[in-house]
Amino acid sequence: MRSTSRQMRTVVIGAGQAGLSAAHHLRRRGLVPFEDFMVLDANDGPGGAWRHRWDSLTFDRAHGLHSLPGMDLATPDPREPASAVVARYYGAYELAFALPVVRPFKVRNVTGSLEDGFTITATDGRAIRAATVINATGTWDKPYWPYYPGQRGFTGRQLHTHDFVAPEELLGQRVLVVGGGTSAAQFLLQLSTLGIDTLWSTRRAPQWREAPQNKAWGIEVENNVNARTRSGLPPLSVVSVTGLPLTDFYQAGIDSGVLVSRGAINSLSARSVTFSDGSTEEIDVILWATGFRASLDHLAPLGLREPGGGILMGEDSVSVPKVPGLFLVGYGASASTIGATRAGRAAAVAAGRLQEAAAADTATADSR
């Protein structure tokens, strides 16, 4: 696809759950694919961030997979890799609704404004103009690496969830898994199944949650996250809001001693870790299951960040008051797949209404 001077009504950046949901609702509002709107995807195939997940993450161990609007996910083989399930599902969805996905198109930056139009420029120089932008880039491209004293002097291997391939690559090594979320817990159980010696470090005691996930609980979680983003504060980590689900799978790990945290890290040395209780353990590998941050570097020219580091979100949780015409989905409360689906719809509706209002103003001005 070549650069175009023609201005799209809306460009969606990202083809994961939020981006595809937004595209679906843009079509429902009557926008014509490739004429009025398009979806830009940095990947070379469908699946969003899921296509990069490790094969040992099977569908039955993947939390929070929800259907896209208008097409059920159905019931995949629970032992199939989640990456394959989601890539196949998203690909079928794009075809079923004839969504205008352009890939690979890795966005370098977004510039402009609602008044002058936005310009979305790719790393290879291609550029597209749009009246409004729906950003749905998620978090996968922004892994979070915490820092501890002595970390740079550690001579063993360090890798992040983002770079994990398979538990077999860690055979015969002593592995420290760092992080208090479900990914960390799953890594520990997978590694221990293969006889790999593991230790677990969390900054605070694991927050196991026995309460069932229901609608009221989900609304409370979203309200807690939205309260921060509507104040311009950075979103909290998922596990800090939801806790860890205390399923039979995880309870067995607790009972076996695998899912028992040694506490926070105090410091690292060449091949050892010292915990906050003063104990020291020799280790070969550190697996940082420490989460991700919102992947928004390409939006830096728009000056979105507040002094506290977050982005001030509107009451609809998708609009950015500082930059009218820009909508963020998959940010804050909409980082979950069910939240992303709802946010995609909200952004499509908001973008449409904004453009309809602008068109009405122009028509009124022309009639005077």
Separation CA 73–CA 68 (nearest Å): 7
79 exposed, middle or buried (CB, 10 Å; 0-12, 13-18, 19+)? exposed
Separation CA 137–CA 331 (nearest Å): 9
Please give the angle made by the CA atoms of 345, 349 and 353, to the nearest 5 degrees. Answer: 170
pLDDT at 192: 95
Domain 7-141+292-367: CATH architecture, name and number where available: 3-Layer(bba) Sandwich (3.50)
Q: pLDDT, tens digit, for every residue of 255-268?
A: 999 999 999 999 99
Separation CA 188–CA 185 (nearest Å): 5
Separation CA 97–CA 169 (nearest Å): 40
For 69-136, where are the E strands, in sequence order? 101-102, 107-113, 117-122, 127-135
CATH number for the region 151-207+243-288 comes to: 3.50.50.60
Model-level pTM? 0.88
Q: Is 151-207+243-288 the same fold as 7-141+292-367?
A: yes
The structural domains of the chain, with segments of one domain joined by +, span: 7-141+292-367, 151-207+243-288
Are 282 and 174 in contact by the 8 Å Cβ rule? The answer is: yes
Are 265 and 206 in contact by the 8 Å Cβ rule? The answer is: no
Separation CA 136–CA 42 (nearest Å): 11
Q: pLDDT, tens digit, for every residue of 59-75?
A: 877 766 788 999 998 88
Q: pLDDT, tens digit, for every residue of 271-303?
A: 999 999 999 999 999 999 999 998 999 999 999
Residue 165 token pair: 């391939």
